[in-house]
Structure 1
Amino acid sequence: MRFVWAVLAFILAAAAIGGGIAQRTIFVDREAGQVSIDVPGGAAYVMIDGSVLGTHAGTQTLEASVPGKNLTVAYGRTADMSAWLSDATYAHVTLDAQGAPVSQIIEPSVTAPETPRNPAGSDLWLGEATAESTVSEKLQVPQTMSVLVATDGQSAAPATIDLSWPVSNLTPWAGPLILLGVILLAVGIVLYILAVRHLRRSRGPRRKGPPPLAITEPLQTIDQQGLDEAGTGRGVITATPTRRSLGRGRRFVVTVPAMVVAGALLAGCSPESWPQVGSSDTPDPTASVVVPEGEQPPAVTQAQAGQILERVAATVAQADSTLDATLAGTRLADAMLDERTANYTIRGKFSSQAALAAIPTAPLMLVLPQSMSEWPRSVVTVIADPAKEKDTPVIAVLQQQDAWSPYKLSYLSNLTASSTVPDVAPAEIGARSVPPESPFLLLPPAQVAAAYADVLQNGDNSASAALFDAESDEFRAKVQAKRDEQRAQFNQSAAETGTIDFGSLAGSYAPVSLATIESGAIVAVSVFETETVKPTTSDATIKLDGDSPNETVQALTGTTSSNKGYETTFSDQLFFYVPNKAAGGKIQLLAFDSHVLNAKVLP
């Protein structure tokens, strides 16, 4: 019976090993999926739906050509791409009822301020590639995304687009089958050895033992010569192996190559020969995006936010070097643009004046996108390098007004040394925007700027002073110290002929507020500070000469003196944490920055 089990194990081992080898040779799929898409009507844009790209497993390869033209291939969320194309005529490639690609022309549904547009460089795309005449791009696009193919938005897109998928080398059962075969082979060998051993022990009947030997005289030793003469060598025990022992050695040696060959086969199995637990052949670029039920997706991914910030910084750096406010306006908005424009005017007249600090780009320590599928969209980010302790971390707000506009930097401030950014949702989830008049916060976002401006103006006598945490407010202390110093200097030189006054009021830029985990909000606001110098008599004149502040006013007003006086406006960009009304606590200043905004001659 043991021989039966051994033979059965050998048969099963051969079947398992053979099946594993067959999976890697006979049954492997050697044909790649291929499809050619015809674009009708000479459309300028072609949008290929993710369902088309997902008809086969594996990385997608897209190939297209238009002689003499730059071709752009971009991928992004399908909803974002549809919004970007909503003002244009484009070809939409989807699957028909039989699962075959089909193209149809989609007419514009809205009117955009500017058409046509080159898709290259849009902040909506998660990735893009541009090549001249011919493009061949490998993609890993899931079905929740789409791919856009176009030239410059004016010329026709490629008339034919080829898609292909790689040969599938996945044989997930080859490795397990070969491993099972090796195990069965080993079991069969053990059973065979046990069967042979049992057979030898059970063979019979056995011969009876010899009777006791008679007492004889000691044998005479036969020398080698006598042995040679006898010629037969009878009665001499030899160490030469017998035929039976040689046979056992051969049977044992025969089983060793089989084990070696099976082990070699097993060792030669590639990762494609094993089940890929928890893996996917086509990774999802947004697999980390988690959209809670009833919520909207985050405006950008963390990688996308970093890419946008780098584009902003590069454009602003170029504008800073050429003092080009128009170029700066393509990537800056609100306070950031107005402060930069004032600085360009000052530097254009006085080269000794310093430029504003460059826009930092990395590393991004925090990215908090607004969870919003419509527009406008906002993103709050913190840029800080832990290795550079001397560099002050900054917090910024990027905003996009519509699907066709680039993200623009609207707020940028330095975090205070004592501030702690509250806990916020991860970038994969995003945060909802808090309405300007939200009654759930300790103070509605729309009222924060005016309330804080009153605190700067009246200090502890302000009706809003109790709402703000004074101990951690570094900016309030600096403003008061600066005003006291300027007032003292002015009184020493011109107290008899003029006056200096300071004021604070809410800025004209809209606040930005995103919710935190504790149901509070990070709120970015603008406050204007004014410095007014005017003569007290009709004979007195305010002259602008000598120091840097006077050069600033002179450059912005275009005058060197006035018998009416001057008013200089400073823009304060401020970030606060406003707690939930039910949770209690005080409003904390997180970051601040201040620059000259404007100057004018008093009427």
Structure 2
Amino acid sequence: MTRHELRRPARKDTTTMSRSLDRRGLLLGAGTLLTSGVLAACSSEVEPPPAPSTGRPHEEPTPVQTTEQFARIVPEIHAAVVAADEARDVEELAPRVSGSAADFRKAAYAMIDKAEEWAEDLRTPGSELIVPMTSVTAEFPRTAIALVEDSVEEEGVPYFVVMQQKDAKSPYTCWGWAQQAVGIEMPMVANELVGAEQVTRETEDLLMTPAKALSLYANVLTSGNNEDPDDLLADNPFQTVTHERIATERRELNAGVERDEAATIKETYKVDEDEFAGLRTDDGGAIVMGTLRSSRRVAIKDGATMRYAEDNKYTKVIGEREFSSEYVRSFGTHVALYIPPKDSSGKVQPIGATQTALDASGE
């Protein structure tokens, strides 16, 4: 057996080490024997050279990341985020956390400075590895994805954590993590001893290219299922919750009047073209990760005034809670999608998302 099954999240049990090992063994499948190595890895070990061996070439491609590397890097990512959150200092994230993950944290700290309750919304992947997804591609940049535990104590949902290495002299850095969707069937991935091929934005032997899949998801999040006339995107919790929240806010904005008579609301999503990662799944499909940025704008009609409650966290950031023109909130979201192989009858399945509030304004 050379596959790992990314099972649906289950209740986390941390009462004893033995029970934790049992659960991780079930998730790792064929990798069970590697679990003890993961848990026992010492963070003081020197990281193996990232460049490929110059010795006799292997007959088959081999993974360019090892379980030992994962076992050290994942806790270092977790520790960097925890240290930065405690100090409210984005500099603490380097060198393991970079890109949009660092940008989002910096924006979140600015919001917390204005309203402390925003600290409760920070989402942090844990330090324990569940499933490593390694690549066999020798060229740079190199990609790895790890499914890791949540950082909460009693119950949590795992995260897909992306790690990339720019060149042989650079460390693996993380630019994002997407919390696994609950109730969604997960794809099978290659055992870490076998590894998987990296895919690019324009890989064509999939149901659609990753670039098109991310764009489709952004468009559906923005404008609904009319943007998916061929019904190629599967239902997913993040989309459902996002649209329900917007619909609820629309009703509240226009309470007592006709739809949109007092104000309109629309959230627009765009794909960040600077960040992408993708690895093959066991069936020839791919798990891809990307970054979306969005702006949710309430446009207030002439003569109307919107007044928000004193405990509204966004208006605390703005310093005002009454608006007569517009009210805008911005977000950053890391997403994970599964894209089936080209001739599959399946759909593009969003399998993870983590959203961070970045800013708010109004007038």
Q: Smaller-chain TM-score range?
A: 0.7 to 0.9
Q: Are residue 548 (structure 1) and residue 332 (structure 2) matched?
A: no
Closer/same/farther in 2, CA of residues 374 and 507 from structure 1, 3 Å limit: closer
Alignment of 1:207-356 (within 5 A): 293=59, 295=61, 297-355=62-120, 356=122
1:547-599 per-position Cα deviation (integer Å, ceiling 9, x unaligned): 33424651xxx776665423222222221110111233211221122221334
Q: Is 2:192 aligned against 1:431?
A: no
Residue 76 of structure 1: aligned partner: 48
- Displacement of 1:383: 1.6
Q: 1:581 to 1:389 in 2, by over 3 A?
A: farther
1:487 to 242, 250, 255: 250
CA contact (8 A) 2:115 2:313 kept: no
Please say if 1:359 is aligned against 2:125.
yes
Cα distance in 1 for residues equivalent to 2:94 and 2:295: 25
1:520 to 276, 279, 285: 285
> Which AA in structure 2 matches 1:427?
E
Q: Residues 341, 466 of structure 1: CA spacing in aligned structure 2 closer, same or farther, 3 A cutoff?
A: same
Pair 1:570 & 2:309 matched: no
Q: Which residue of 2 aligns with 1:474?
A: 237
CA contact (8 A) 2:294 2:330 kept: yes
Could you say which residue in structure 1 is the equivalent of 2:297? 532
* C-alpha displacement of 1:416: 1.8
What is the SS of the residue equivalent to 1:503?
Answer: strand
In 1: Cα distance, 2:49 partner to 2:356 partner: 38
Listed one character per residue, the Cα deviations across residues 119-142 of structure 1 (whole Å, up to 9, x for unaligned) are xxxxxxxxxxxxxxxxxxxxxxxx
* CA spacing shift, 1:327–1:545, aligned 2, 3 Å: farther
TM-aligned CA distance change 1:468 to 1:340, over 3 Å? same
Aligned to 1:311, the other structure's residue is in SS state helix
Match of 1:374 in 2: 139
For the 8 Å contact 1:455–1:464, the answer to whether it is kept is no
CA distance in structure 2 between the partners assigned to 1:405 and 1:545 by the alignment: 48
Asked whether the equivalents of residues 448 and 525 of structure 1 are also in contact (C-alpha less than 8 Å), the reply is no
Question: Following the alignment from structure 1 to structure 2, what is the Cα–Cα distance between the partners of residues 480 and 464?
Answer: 18
Alignment of 1:91-102 (within 5 A): none
Question: Which of 564, 575, 579 is 2:340 aligned to?
Answer: 579
Question: 1:301 deviation in Å?
Answer: 0.7
Change (3 A) 1:372 1:492: same
3-state secondary structure, aligned to 1:360:
strand
Structure 2: distance between partners of 1:406 and 1:464? 43
Looking at structure 1, the residues matched to 167 and 277 of structure 2 have their Cα atoms a distance apart, in angstroms, of: 16
Which has the higher Rg, Structure 1 or Structure 2? 1
**DSSP-derived class of the 1:527 partner:** strand
**Any conservation in 1 of the 2:246–2:265 contact (CA below 8 Å)?**
no
Contact 1:381 1:397 in 2 (8 A): yes
TM-score (norm 1): 0.47
Evaluate the alpha carbon distance shift between residue 596 and residue 73 of structure 1 in structure 2; reply closer, same or farther with a 3 A threshold.
closer
How far the C-alpha of 1:445 sits from its partner, in A, is 0.8
- How many residue pairs match? The answer is 315
What are structure 2's unaligned runs of at least 5 residues? 1-43
* Shift in Å, 1:390: 3.1
Normalised TM-score (structure 2): 0.76
Contact (CA 8 Å) 1:445, 1:511: kept in 2 or not? no
Kindly state the Cα deviation for residue 399 of structure 1 after the two structures are TM-superposed.
1.5
382, 397, 407: which one aligns with 2:172? 407
Structure 1 unmatched ranges of 5 or more: 1-71, 83-142, 145-290
Contact 1:524–1:574 (CA under 8 A) maintained in structure 2: yes
Counterpart secondary structure, 1:383: strand
What secondary structure sits across from 1:478 in the alignment?
Answer: helix
Q: Is the 8 A contact 1:353 1:548 kept in 2?
A: no
Residues of 2 paired with 1:412 and 1:316: CA distance?
12
CA distance in 2, matches of 1:373, 1:437: 19
TM-aligned CA distance change 1:75 to 1:320, over 3 Å: closer
Q: Within 1, Cα distance between the matches of 2:127 and 2:256?
A: 44
| Partner SS state of residue 297, structure 2 | strand
Matched letter for residue 359 of structure 2: N
* Distance in 1 between residues matched to 2:292 and 2:77, nearest whole Å: 24
Q: Tell me, what secondary structure is at the counterpart of 1:411?
A: strand
Map 1:122-201 → 2, pairs under 5 A: none
- What whole-Å deviation, never above 9, does each CA across 1:151-190 have from its counterpart, x for those lacking one? xxxxxxxxxxxxxxxxxxxxxxxxxxxxxxxxxxxxxxxx
Asked if 1:419 is matched to 2:184, the reply is: yes
Percentage of matched positions with identical amino acids? 25
> In 2 relative to 1, CA 501–303 (structure 1 residues): closer, same or farther, beyond 3 Å?
same
Give the C-alpha shift of residue 408 in structure 1. Answer: 1.9
Give the 3-state SS of the residue equivalent to 2:116 in structure 1.
Answer: coil
Picking from 560, 565, 590, the partner of 2:351 is 590
Counterpart residue type for residue 586 of structure 1: K
The superposition leaves residues 417-463 of structure 1 with CA deviations (integer Å, 9 ceiling, x where unpaired) of 22233222211222111121111110101111210122223333223
CA contact (8 A) 2:47 2:69 kept: no
Three-state SS of the structure 2 residue aligned to 1:406 is: coil
Matched with 1:68 is none
Distance 1:486 1:292 in 2: 58
Aligned counterparts of 1:326 and 1:78: Cα–Cα separation in 2: 25
Code of the aligned partner of 1:520: G
